A and B are shown apart, each in its own frame.
Chain A
């Protein structure tokens, strides 16, 4: 009984995301982006700033940033705040690996439209409650904390009809963390094989997307993309609970229309 009263003491703590904006989600510095007008920069030495090789240059010497390889260490922002900045907003998930690249390639938008259509056909069957099976494929443990947070009172993923399940037999979504350790390759594959169709696979975190700073290593794949077919990519080291929630809702096509604009507010220098 005392606990029941205690549970009422602080009122409703739960976010109203995605129906209503959440200030924490909107101001979370969840990724690094390029400042406007980087075309003129002398780019030759810039790739050396990044410990995970997320900064490269294209054929014309223009700067390219891969958010799927970025571990948010901030080295580039500290060294060249005129070129790099943190971008606010936790809505970082993408339906295509190339969509994590800044600037976006023109063909990416077309590819995403095709992926969206194909995904919509699959998730039609998942209109009601959805069950997630989480698998750790060599994470550092922080991703698990952020996923666990979704079950807490602040994010309360159950309010959206989304649940975590112990059995792959009940699962619709496979949420995978970690750089893809060789030892988890077979268990991960067996978990996916045990799931009924249709399935959705989410690569949660920079480690799961590209291996982050863990790769290259004799013990990891460098991302789980080579182990299972990935539908949604959510960067972050680790991705915050709001980013994970965004990824899940994006996969299910359940984001209200005002969330679908990929161009988030401009960055801020720090």
Chain B
């Protein structure tokens, strides 16, 4: 823990206009040069006359957006997926929402919105009314199982236990898991389109509910995008309060994963213990701001209010939680019946993780170390150097668990330091907490944050003080497709461990 990153402010996002026929070569050249594919999203023009495709690439803390316009009458473009499997789900999502056809896509099944052929799509960005009912059509989904003796076990969308709705189709000859299909459309809520009715200040309320367990991360990524457009930096006190909440959220999320893993291993006491730690963390967040999920704290331009309880109270409670939590974590990581279930389970091949640009703890366990807090720091992170994380690269569920425990330690430290820094700041006027947004904001920006699940991106377009396009890209969406690839040596009973260790939020995938 002695070495620390010294952060430099993030470089501004570069936007490059390219021809749609060069999209493939431009993206692949940059990836060959060391960039990571981070997102692909589309925007329909206001009059619905054309569509713009935007690919986001990240390299050494530099973010580049490649914009390619499709002409009015053109709805086909050369698919990226054939050369870049990481784009697989992105192109399916774009097809569902915009009706665009990626020529050469290997398997263009519906993902978030299965609709009969010929249905008018919501096309975020256009003026097309957002409230016209679009009901998912199961018949638009393919049903196929190929292979001798293979059958499909459908699991979901109503799961066994308290889970979010998602349907897993497990294709199996009996015990091994040959393939898994993930269907998320049941939870599609039309979030992108819903943003378009809101002004930039109200939009944050929807952002907080895109992926409710990471409300702070979403509010921050969204606020960063608005602030980049407005061209201002939040006051210092706001930066520290933001870090404080973001790190408490990370602790709660990682504790949730641990609790689910213990539950899967049948360790009743351990499950209860970590549920208790998680509850205390949520109560601490609640005591700080009246919301157990930190909702209503962040506003574009800063924060709404300072913590409602004294820093000493927070520090005392945090120390108390940290003490029992650390002891339980140590015991858990020596409990052989737990470790045996995680070791070698759900291995994500580092080569695949690198090619895909895997995010968050899932990526870090397989050698992808990009942490936005370090490479593209925001808020108070430049003033709060992070410890260089220990490496756990066995690429299995165990490595992901070790990484999460290390991150909990680092987060506790960050909470402590941001509270100390906050105590040394004078906060007297409302302007010390947030600056009012200028009216009639215009422009386009990308906001980012390291959510508990990994890098979270918000692509935002404002015109005349209204949202015309907002495309959140969660780490859950980016990582979930890797789920297919982690079952090679595993059997059905490993499923809950792998699922928990991925820590996916389906709300953030289906949007």
Contact = CB atoms under 8 A, between A and B. Distances in A.
Nearest to A220: B189
Interface stretch (B272-280, B397-405, B420-428, B438-446): B272-280
Interface stretch (A108-116, A118-126, A147-155, A252-260): A147-155
Interface stretch (A39-47, A179-187, A227-235): A179-187
Contacts of B131: 216-218
A162 interface: no
A100 interface: no
Contacts of B267: 3
Contacts of B162: 134, 144, 147-148, 151, 164
Contact of B296 (A10, A74, A151, A240): A74
Among A133, A178, A182, which residue has the most Cβ atoms of chain B within 10 A?
A182
Contacts of B191: 214, 217
Interface in A128-145: 133-145
Contact of A152 (B275, B304, B507): B275
B212 A143 contact: yes
A154 B278 CA distance: 11
A73 to B, nearest CB: 5
A240 B292 contact: yes
B90 interface: no
B328 A6 contact: yes
Contacts of B507: 139-141
Contact of A238 (B122, B187, B293): B293
A166 B295 contact: no
Nearest to A74: B296
Contacts, number: 185
B149 interface: no
Contacts of A51: 198, 202, 205
B331 A3 contact: yes
A135 B506 CA distance: 14
B211 interface: yes
Nearest to B133: A218
A182 B505 CA distance: 19
Interface in B156-209: 157-158, 160-165, 185-191, 193-194, 198, 202, 205-206, 209
A270 B134 contact: no
Contacts of A73: 205, 295-296
B165 A184 contact: yes
Contact of A140 (B163, B210, B304, B324): B210
B482 interface: no
A86 B324 CA distance: 33
Contacts of B269: 3-4, 6-7
Given A3-B267, A141-B212, A166 B160 contact: yes
Size category of the binding interface on chain B: 35 or more
A135 B158 CA distance: 6
A12 B162 CA distance: 25
Interface in A78-128: 78, 86
B437 to A, nearest CB: 14
A24 B324 CA distance: 21
A218 B304 contact: no
B3 interface: no
Given A179-B189, A216-B130, A151 B213 contact: no
B275 A217 contact: no
B4 interface: no
A10 B209 CA distance: 35
Contact of B283 (A24, A212, A216): A24
Contacts of A178: 165, 187
B275 A181 contact: no
Contact of A13 (B163, B185, B276): B276
Given A73-B296, A141-B507, A183 B136 contact: yes
A69 interface: no
A183 B185 contact: yes
A71 interface: yes
Contact of A145 (B185, B256, B276): B256
B157 A184 contact: yes
Contact of A141 (B133, B185, B278, B505): B505
B221 to A, nearest CB: 15
Contact of A219 (B113, B272, B279, B505): B113
A50 B291 CA distance: 18
Contact of A142 (B188, B193, B213, B279): B213
Interface of B: 113, 122, 130-136, 157-158, 160-165, 185-191, 193-194, 198, 202, 205-206, 209-213, 215, 256, 267, 269-270, 272-273, 275-276, 278-279, 282-283, 286, 290-293, 295-296, 304, 308, 324, 327-328, 331, 335, 505-508
14 contacts: A6-B269, A71-B205, A73-B295, A139-B507, A147-B162, A152-B272, A182-B133, A216-B130, A216-B194, A217-B194, A218-B193, A219-B188, A219-B190, A220-B189
What are the 5 closest A-B residue pairs judged by CB atoms, nearest first? A142-B212, A140-B212, A152-B275, A166-B160, A219-B190
